Each structure stands twice: as structure tokens, then as C-alpha cells.
Amino acid sequence: MATYSLNINGTSYEVDVAQGTSLLWVLREHLGLTGTKYSCGIAQCGSCTIHLDGNPVRACVLQVDNVANGQKIKTIEGLSENGDHPLQKAWVKAQAPQCGYCQSGQIMQAAALLEKNPNPSREEIKSHMNGVLCRCGTYLRILEAIEMAKEQTTTTS
């Protein structure tokens, strides 16, 4: 066991876990941040997407040893305090989720895009979202939600 200091959603945490523990399991099992989902375990589906220093990464393959260096981690719980981020509102309005399992990963992937490029083209959105899988196939509604959120963020900026 080792003690790791983590900066998650603007809060400092100390966790005692075995070296090599997946960040996903630290988030879910040790800190109770269960919005980040486990699905494939090999960084192929994107359900576990979080932000590491503003970049979307797959938490299932990140070891806690590699992120305990003062890097800033953001989970879906840290996207907005009240669930009112423009993407979250647009997700509801577009009725994007069906089963909902991949949605936190989808939203975190989309949030990273809009933070770097507030006005992406449809092709840029598709390219950026490629690799975050939805078993229910709600890709068109996800695309619609991102486009709605893009409009909301560009008009309020």
C-alpha cells in the first residue's frame, strides 16, 4: 500500500491503495465518484473518460501512480456543481441517453472539445467523439446535443 495525493474536481484527496491501482477504481471504490463508468477495461470504449489537465483520457488504464503528481483530474461530478453545464442541459433536451451507461464518458469527451474549440464544425465534433462508443447507437442525438451546447456556449461567451 502507498499513499497518493490527488487533485480531483478542485479538491485534494489522499488515498491509500496498492501501487498500480487503476485510477478508475480509486475514483469509484475509494472516493465514491461513481459517475465514471467501467466498461471495457482496455481504453477502447470511452465510458471511463475523465479530464487530466484538461485533456480527455481513459481512467481504466491510468494507474494512480502516474497521476499523483499534482495533475488536475476532473470527473463528470466536477463538470458542474448543479448538473447545469450546457452539455448536460443539451443532453437532456436532445434526449441523448438511452441506457445512459456511456453518457458520462460522452459528455466528458465533448466537454474537452468545447473547452479547446468552442465552435467546432460537425466534422470536428464527429472526429473528436470517434472512439467513445454507445451500444444503444444514439450517436445522432449525441451529435445534436453537442451542437446545441456549442450554440449555447458561443452565444453566452
Place of cell 485533456: 55
Per-residue pLDDT of the chain (157 residues), as tens digits, is: 999 999 999 999 999 999 999 999 999 999 999 999 999 999 999 999 999 999 999 999 999 999 978 899 999 999 998 989 999 999 999 999 888 899 999 999 999 999 999 999 999 999 999 999 999 999 999 999 999 999 887 665 5
- Tell me, yes or no, if the two domains 2-78 and 86-155 fold the same way: no
CA distance 138 to 126: 13
Give domain limits for the chain: 2-78, 86-155
Q: What percent of the residues of the chain are helix, what percent strand, and what percent coil, each to the nearest 5?
A: 40, 15, 40
- Find all residues with CB under 8 Å of 49, minimum gap 6, and list them: 36, 56, 57, 58, 59, 104, 105, 106, 108, 109, 132
Is there a contact between 89 and 137 (Cβ–Cβ < 8 Å)? Answer: no
| Sign (positive or negative) of CA dihedral 143, 147, 153, 157 | positive
Superfamily of domain 86-155: [2Fe-2S]-binding domain (1.10.150.120)
Answer yes or no: pTM beyond 0.85. yes
Class of the CATH domain delimited by 2-78: alpha beta
Tell me the pLDDT tens digit for each residue of 95-117: 998 888 999 999 999 999 999 99
Task: Write out the three cell numbers for 54.
Answer: 484538461
